[in-house]
Amino acid sequence: MAYAKNLAEIRLLIASHKRWDLFFACVGVLALMIGVLTFTALFVDMAIKGVPRLDWDFFTSFPSRHAGRAGILSAWVGSTLVMLTTAFFAVPLGVAAGLYLEEYAPKNWITDIIEINITNLAGVPSIVYGLLALGLFVYQFGFGQSILSAGLTLALLILPVVIVATREAIRSIPQGIREGAYALGATQWQVCKDHIVPYSTSGILTGVIIGMARAIGETAPIITIGALTFIAFLPPSPVKAEAPFVSFEWLTSPFTVMPIQMFNWTSRPEAAFLVNAAAAGFVLVLMTLAMNGLAIYIRFRLRKKIKW
Amino acid sequence: MVAVPAQEAAPAALKAEVKDLSFHYGDFQALKRLNMPVYEKQVTALIGPSGCGKSTFLRSFNRMHDLYPGNRYEGEIRLFPDNVNVLAPGVDPIEVRMRISMVFQKPNPFPKSIYENVAYGLRVRGENRRVSLNEKVEEALRNAALWDEVKDRMSEPAFNLSGGQQQRLCIARALATDPEMLLFDEPTSALDPIATASIEELIHDLKKKVTIVIVTHNMQQAARVSDYTAYMYLGELIEYGVTDEIFIKPKKKQTEDYITGRFG
């Protein structure tokens, strides 16, 4: 087609170009809806089945052979303790590794290989981490089928996420800020502790929480290291009445977590247990959404203070 | 190349002396055997077209190039009174930066309070006593002609200040540690004319206290604020001399062409 010569032709041409705008907008909305609607449908279905089952007793009861008396006490306590352990190990390790790679590591091929490896680690199936943890933490180190083993396994799993988030947050700090600090005679460590880490906190926290939101729903590696599916007791309390008031006995305790409790209930033949599973799933999704919401809130709050 | 006019008989002592300075970014030689004096409590301007190496030259004084790999210095920059070559491998760049402060092209305050920005250099030096910090911060802000504007809002974020104020804050930050020398890398190129005028006035006042080297794109600025001017082109120092002479009767045709706007 020859190029448009007069105004009428130009208008026709613009109209035909604009049809593509409309076409893509439709495709885009459709693509978006497939994801959003699927999640909404799943969530609503689960809510309809599960929400009527939710009451105070559901949160304060141990699992039981009777569906009506079963609850998720051991599961949510287990999930919480495992998450705390995960965060305790993943955050310092991930932040230190990310900080080192961005600020200290020489830019050479070894660093490049390490970078590629970290990106790849994020894509390793979680069951592989589970097998590694079974061999390493459970048997080699003798931590057993404990909260400590589970926390370490999930920490390993989200470590790449934390490292990548840390590096991206650090990279968004303008070079001028670093140069300004170095020009005042700061050492590398002073620049890191006074500037790089404080200014990248929001990005790091966001990454950590998103990683944790993934970890809380992980089932495969936790089953691999041998979490129990039926637990009718709580780990020892971390707070003691007598000195030294804190105890870490709970780290070595057997445990279960939310997704495993769900998995256990869905494999029961009785329909009443399926309702329990839906209710537990609903709680788990809410926990995940709450964590993501927290991540968004933190990012919003801290970004307001720092704008480049 | 170095032609210090005798009739000027500058009473100023030598603060630094550049001797055969060459600089390489990897394989690229950005500075070619520069020789130049820097006089104490005088303003020395570096002018020249983009890419002539004037910023590279300036950043050699406080070893900023050491922050990046693949950079290499040759020659010397001797700093007086102790006659130490700041480029010598045995000299710690951090020590050099503690003696020679820098103000950058784009205002780069830290995302901290106004107070903490000015105090940072002191904190790096281990000063944590509130009283002396307060004293030094106030003195630096007064010297940077910013005190009256910020004295009631010291805990506000530095980003709340205007561009010109931010640049003066960066000057205060550089001054707080009593540096022997202050480097300005096109300090007004991101500022409007009014803010530019206030920075120029400030530079004029500051030379009573400190030796200044300034890189500028703006020839009028060089003429207004400096005592000595160096004209650079393609990594070479073409002409150095008293500012008035460089601008009124440059010895080299090349300098004259640049200054009169026929080139550059």
Task: Show pLDDT as tens, one digit a residue, over chain B (264 residues).
Answer: 455 554 454 567 899 999 999 999 989 999 999 999 999 999 999 999 988 999 999 999 999 999 998 899 999 999 988 999 999 999 999 999 999 999 999 999 999 999 999 999 999 999 999 999 999 999 999 999 899 999 999 999 999 999 999 999 999 999 999 999 999 999 998 888 988 998 999 999 999 989 999 999 888 899 999 999 999 999 999 999 999 999 998 898 889 888 888 765
A182 with B64: Cβ contact below 8 A: yes
> Cβ–Cβ contacts within 10 Å for residue A234, how many?
15
Residue linked to tokens 């790679």: A101
The strand order across the sheet containing B14-25 reads B28-39, B14-25, B71-79, B84-85
pTM value?
0.83
Tokens representing A292 are 């993501």
Q: Identify all chain A residues contacting B69, using CB atoms and an 8 Å cutoff.
A: 106-107
Phi first, then psi: give them for residue B239, nearest 5 degrees: -150, 140
Among residues B14, B9, B56, B13, which one has the least CA distance to residue B37? Answer: B14
| Alpha helices per DSSP H over chain A | 7-50, 56-60, 73-99, 109-121, 126-133, 147-171, 175-183, 188-191, 197-216, 220-224, 258-266, 271-305
Chain A residues with beta carbon closer than 8 angstroms to that of B95: 185
pLDDT of residue A307: 67
Enumerate the residues of chain B whose CB falls inside 8 A of the CB of residue A175: none
Looking at CA atoms only, how far is residue A163 from chain B in angstroms? Answer: 23
Hey, which residues 54-83 in chain B have their CB within 8 Å of chain A?
62, 64, 67, 69
Interchain CB distance below 8 Å, B121 and A106: no
- Contact between residue B134 and residue B91 where contact means Cβ atoms under 8 Å apart: no
A 10 A CB-CB count for B151 gives: 12
pLDDT digits (tens, 9 = 90+) for B65-124: 999 988 999 999 999 889 999 999 999 999 999 999 999 999 999 999 999 999 999 999
Helix (H) or strand (E) holding B79: strand B71-79
Q: Which two tokens stand for residue A235?
A: 């780990």
According to DSSP, residue A210 is labeled: H
Mean pLDDT by 10 residues, chain A (308 residues): 78 92 95 93 90 86 83 89 92 94 90 90 89 91 89 93 93 93 95 94 88 88 82 77 75 87 87 89 90 85 73
Contact partners, residue B156, CB within 8 Å, separation at least 6: B113, B114, B150
